[in-house]
Structure 1
Amino acid sequence: VWSGAAGAAFGAWARRDALLTLRRAARVWPALSPLLSAAVPDALELDDEEIAELLGDAGRALAQSGVEVHWPRSLARTLTTRAVAGHPADRGTPDGRASRAPSLLSADALLSFDWRFALGGVPVDRAELDRIAEAGRPLVRLRDRWVLVDPEEVRRARERRDRLIPPMEALGAVLAGTTEVDGRPVEVEASGRLRELRDVLADPEGGPREAGQPAALAATLRDYQLRGLDWLHRMTSLGLGACLADDMGLGKTVTLIALHLRRRSDPASAGPTLVVCPTSLMGNWQREIERFAPGTPVRRFHGPHRALDNVTDGFVLTTYGTMRLDAGRLARVDWGMVVADEAQHVKNPYSATARRLRTIGGRARVALTGTPVENNLTELWAILDWTTPGLLGRLGTFRGRYAQAVEGGADPAAAERLSRLVRPFLLRRRKSDPGIAPELPPKTETDRAVALTKEQAGLYEAVVRETLAAIAEADGMERRGLVVTLLTALKQICNHPAQYLKEEGAPRLAGRSGKLELLDELLETILSEGAGVLVFTQYVRMARLLAGHLAARGVRAQLLHGGTPVGEREAMVRRFQDGEVPVFLLSLKAAGTGLNLTRAEHVVHYDRWWNPAVEAQATDRAYRIGQTRPVQVHRLIAEGTVEDRIAEMLARKRRLADAVLGGAGEAALTELTDAELAELVRLRAPDGGYDEDGARGEPRDGGAAPEGGENGTSGGRGR
Structure 2
Amino acid sequence: MTPPSAATPSDIAELSRCTAVFLPGDPARTGRVAFWRPDGVPPSGPATGSAEELTVVVPVDGTDDGPHDDPTGPSPTGLAVETHTVRALLLPLGEALPVLTRARARAAQTGPGQCDPATAFWGAAAVLALQLAARGRLLPGLSATDHDAWRVGPLTPDDLTRVRELAAAMPPTAHATPLPVSGPVLLPEPERHLRAFLDAVADGLPRSPAAALASGGPSFAAPAPRRLPEQRSWAADVAAGHDAGVRLSIRIELLHGGGGNGKADGPRFRAVLQLHSLTDPALVADAAEVWAGTSPITPALGPRARMDALLTLRRAARAWAPLTPLLSAAVPDALDLADEEVTELLGPAAGALDAAGVQVHWPRELARGLTARAVIGPDGEDEAQDDTGPRFPAFLSADALLRFSWRFAVGDQELTRAELDGLAEASRPVVRLRDQWVLLDPDAARRVRDRQDRKLTPADALGAVLTGRTEAEGTDVEVRATGWLEALRDHLADPEGTAGAQRAPVPQPSALAATLRDYQLRGLDWLVRMTSIGLGGCLADDMGLGKTITLIALHLHRMGIPEAAGPTLVVCPTSLMGNWRREIERFAPGTPVRRYHGSARSLDGLDDGEFVLTTYGTMRLDAQRLAEAGPWGMVVADEAQHVKNPFSATARQLRTIGAKARVALSGTPIENNLSELWAILDWTTPGVLGTHGAFRRRYAQAVESGSDPEAAARLAKLVRPFLLRRRKSDPGIAPELPPKTETDRAVALTKEQAGLYEAVVREILAEISGTGGLVRRGLIVKLLTGLKQICNHPAQYLKEDRPVVPGRSGKLELLDELLDTILAEGASVLVFTQYVRMARILEGHLAARGVPAQLLHGGTPVARREEMVRRFQDGEVPVFLLSLKAAGTGLNLTRAGHVVHYDRWWNPAVEAQATDRAYRIGQTQPVQVHRIIAEGTVEDRIAAMLTRKRELADAVLGSGEGALTELTDSELAELVELRGTER
TM category, shorter: 0.5 to 0.7
Decide whether the 8 Å contact of 2:368 with 2:411 is kept in 1: yes
Alignment of 1:290 with 2:535, yes or no, is no
Q: Which residue number in structure 1 is paired with residue 611 of structure 2?
A: 315
Q: Secondary structure at the match of 2:617?
A: helix
Q: Which residue number in structure 1 is paired with residue 738 of structure 2?
A: 440
Q: Secondary structure at the match of 2:425?
A: helix
Decide whether the 8 Å contact of 1:80 with 1:117 is kept in 2: yes
CA offsets, 1:628-659, max 9 Å, x none? xxxxxx99999xxx99x9869x9xxxxxxxxx
Q: Which residue number in structure 2 is paired with residue 428 of structure 1?
A: 725
Q: Which residue number in structure 2 is paired with residue 85 of structure 1?
A: 376
**How many Å apart are 1:112 and its aligned residue?**
2.3
Alignment of 1:562 with 2:860, yes or no, is no
Letter in 1 for 2:490: D
Report the Cα distance in structure 2 between the residues aligned to 1:15 and 1:268, rounded to whole angstroms: 78
**How many Å apart are 1:240 and its aligned residue?**
0.2
**How many Å apart are 1:40 and its aligned residue?**
11
**How many Å apart are 1:65 and its aligned residue?**
5.7
Q: 247, 250, 270: which one pairs with 2:565? A: 270
Q: Secondary structure at the match of 1:135?
A: coil
**How many Å apart are 1:693 and its aligned residue?**
10
Report the Cα distance in structure 2 between the residues aligned to 1:195 and 1:707, rounded to whole angstroms: 46
Decide whether the 8 Å contact of 1:442 with 1:712 is kept in 2: no
Decide whether the 8 Å contact of 1:249 with 1:620 is kept in 2: no
CA offsets, 1:9-35, max 9 Å, x none? 699x99999999999877765667899
**How many Å apart are 1:70 and its aligned residue?**
4.6
Cα gap change, 1:618 to 1:359, in 2 (>3 Å): farther
Report the Cα distance in structure 2 between the residues aligned to 1:264 and 1:620, rounded to whole angstroms: 40
Report the Cα distance in structure 2 between the residues aligned to 1:415 and 1:67, rounded to whole angstroms: 29
**How many Å apart are 1:99 and its aligned residue?**
5.3
Q: Which residue number in structure 2 is paired with residue 400 of structure 1?
A: 697
CA offsets, 1:198-226, max 9 Å, x none? 11111221143334111222222222221
**How many Å apart are 1:360 and its aligned residue?**
0.2
Alignment of 1:218 with 2:513, yes or no, is yes
Decide whether the 8 Å contact of 1:381 with 1:395 is kept in 2: yes
Q: Secondary structure at the match of 2:480?
A: strand
Q: 168, 172, 182: which one pairs with 2:463? A: 172
**How many Å apart are 1:351 and its aligned residue?**
1.1
Q: 716, 732, 737: which one pairs with 1:419? A: 716
**How many Å apart are 1:620 and its aligned residue?**
11
**How many Å apart are 1:560 and its aligned residue?**
10
In the TM superposition, 1:355-370 aligns within 5 A as: 355-370=652-667
Decide whether the 8 Å contact of 1:172 with 1:421 is kept in 2: yes
Q: Which residue number in structure 2 is paired with residue 346 of structure 1?
A: 643
Report the Cα distance in structure 1 between the residues aligned to 2:315 and 2:741, rounded to whole angstroms: 69
**How many Å apart are 1:307 and its aligned residue?**
1.9
Decide whether the 8 Å contact of 2:827 with 2:896 is kept in 1: no
Letter in 2 for 1:367: A
Decide whether the 8 Å contact of 1:248 with 1:620 is kept in 2: no
Decide whether the 8 Å contact of 1:592 with 1:617 is kept in 2: no
Report the Cα distance in structure 2 between the residues aligned to 1:359 and 1:2, rounded to whole angstroms: 69
Report the Cα distance in structure 1 between the residues aligned to 2:358 and 2:668, rounded to whole angstroms: 53
Alignment of 1:160 with 2:451, yes or no, is yes
Q: Which residue number in structure 2 is paired with residue 302 of structure 1?
A: 597
**How many Å apart are 1:164 and its aligned residue?**
1.5
Q: Secondary structure at the match of 1:209?
A: coil
Decide whether the 8 Å contact of 1:89 with 1:98 is kept in 2: no
The answer to which of 426-435 and 57-66 deviates more is: 57-66
Report the Cα distance in structure 2 between the residues aligned to 1:372 and 1:307, rounded to whole angstroms: 31
Report the Cα distance in structure 1 between the residues aligned to 2:587 and 2:307, rounded to whole angstroms: 90
Q: Secondary structure at the match of 1:291?
A: helix
Cα gap change, 1:212 to 1:404, in 2 (>3 Å): same
Q: Which residue number in structure 1 is paired with residue 550 of structure 2?
A: 255
Higher fraction of strand? 2
Q: Which residue number in structure 2 is paired with residue 187 of structure 1?
A: 478
Q: 613, 616, 625: which one pairs with 2:824? A: 613
Report the Cα distance in structure 1 between the residues aligned to 2:293 and 2:367, rounded to whole angstroms: 37
Decide whether the 8 Å contact of 1:87 with 1:110 is kept in 2: yes
CA offsets, 1:42-90, max 9 Å, x none? 9876554343234334455556566665543322223222223222228
Q: Secondary structure at the match of 2:614?
A: strand
Alignment of 1:241 with 2:533, yes or no, is no
Q: What RMSD in Å do the two structures reach over aligned CA positions?
A: 5.0
TM-score by length of 2: 0.46
Cα gap change, 1:21 to 1:402, in 2 (>3 Å): closer
**How many Å apart are 1:355 and its aligned residue?**
0.6
Cα gap change, 1:180 to 1:697, in 2 (>3 Å): same
Report the Cα distance in structure 2 between the residues aligned to 1:18 and 1:614, rounded to whole angstroms: 53
**How many Å apart are 1:241 and its aligned residue?**
0.3
Report the Cα distance in structure 2 between the residues aligned to 1:29 and 1:614, rounded to whole angstroms: 51
Q: Secondary structure at the match of 2:431?
A: strand
Cα gap change, 1:646 to 1:368, in 2 (>3 Å): closer
The answer to which of 101-110 and 405-414 deviates more is: 101-110
Report the Cα distance in structure 2 between the residues aligned to 1:385 and 1:255, rounded to whole angstroms: 22
Report the Cα distance in structure 2 between the residues aligned to 1:51 and 1:397, rounded to whole angstroms: 34
Letter in 2 for 1:253: T
5+ long unaligned stretches in structure 1: 445-534, 552-558, 570-585, 595-607, 623-633, 651-690
CA offsets, 1:369-414, max 9 Å, x none? 2221222222111111110111111122222222223233343322
Q: Secondary structure at the match of 1:396?
A: helix
Taking every aligned residue pair, what percent have the same amino acid on both sides?
60
Alignment of 1:134 with 2:303, yes or no, is no
Cα gap change, 1:407 to 1:307, in 2 (>3 Å): same
Decide whether the 8 Å contact of 2:536 with 2:722 is kept in 1: yes
Q: Secondary structure at the match of 2:367?
A: coil
Decide whether the 8 Å contact of 1:111 with 1:166 is kept in 2: yes
Q: Which residue number in structure 2 is paired with residue 700 of structure 1?
A: 869
Report the Cα distance in structure 2 between the residues aligned to 1:367 and 1:621, rounded to whole angstroms: 31
Alignment of 1:389 with 2:686, yes or no, is yes
Decide whether the 8 Å contact of 2:506 with 2:524 is kept in 1: no
**How many Å apart are 1:323 and its aligned residue?**
0.8
Cα gap change, 1:130 to 1:712, in 2 (>3 Å): farther
Q: 463, 466, 487: which one pairs with 1:196? A: 487
Decide whether the 8 Å contact of 1:271 with 1:335 is kept in 2: yes
Q: Which residue number in structure 2 is paired with residue 520 of structure 1?
A: none
Letter in 1 for 2:643: V
Cα gap change, 1:92 to 1:122, in 2 (>3 Å): farther
Letter in 2 for 1:250: L
Cα gap change, 1:618 to 1:544, in 2 (>3 Å): farther
Decide whether the 8 Å contact of 2:569 with 2:636 is kept in 1: yes
Report the Cα distance in structure 2 between the residues aligned to 1:276 and 1:102, rounded to whole angstroms: 28
Q: Which residue number in structure 2 is paired with residue 379 of structure 1?
A: 676
5+ long unaligned stretches in structure 2: 1-285, 299-303, 743-787, 834-838, 876-893, 899-917, 924-983
The structure number with the bigger radius of gyration is 2
Cα gap change, 1:48 to 1:238, in 2 (>3 Å): same
Letter in 1 for 2:689: L
Report the Cα distance in structure 2 between the residues aligned to 1:126 and 1:614, rounded to whole angstroms: 54
Cα gap change, 1:349 to 1:192, in 2 (>3 Å): same
Letter in 2 for 1:359: T
Q: Secondary structure at the match of 1:430?
A: coil
CA offsets, 1:79-137, max 9 Å, x none? 2222232222289999xx99589656643111222333222333223332222112243
Report the Cα distance in structure 2 between the residues aligned to 1:17 and 1:439, rounded to whole angstroms: 64
**How many Å apart are 1:362 and its aligned residue?**
0.4
Cα gap change, 1:231 to 1:42, in 2 (>3 Å): closer
The answer to which of 333-342 and 407-416 deviates more is: 407-416
TM-score by length of 1: 0.61
Report the Cα distance in structure 1 between the residues aligned to 2:293 and 2:641, rounded to whole angstroms: 77
Aligned residues: 523
CA offsets, 1:457-497, max 9 Å, x none? xxxxxxxxxxxxxxxxxxxxxxxxxxxxxxxxxxxxxxxxx
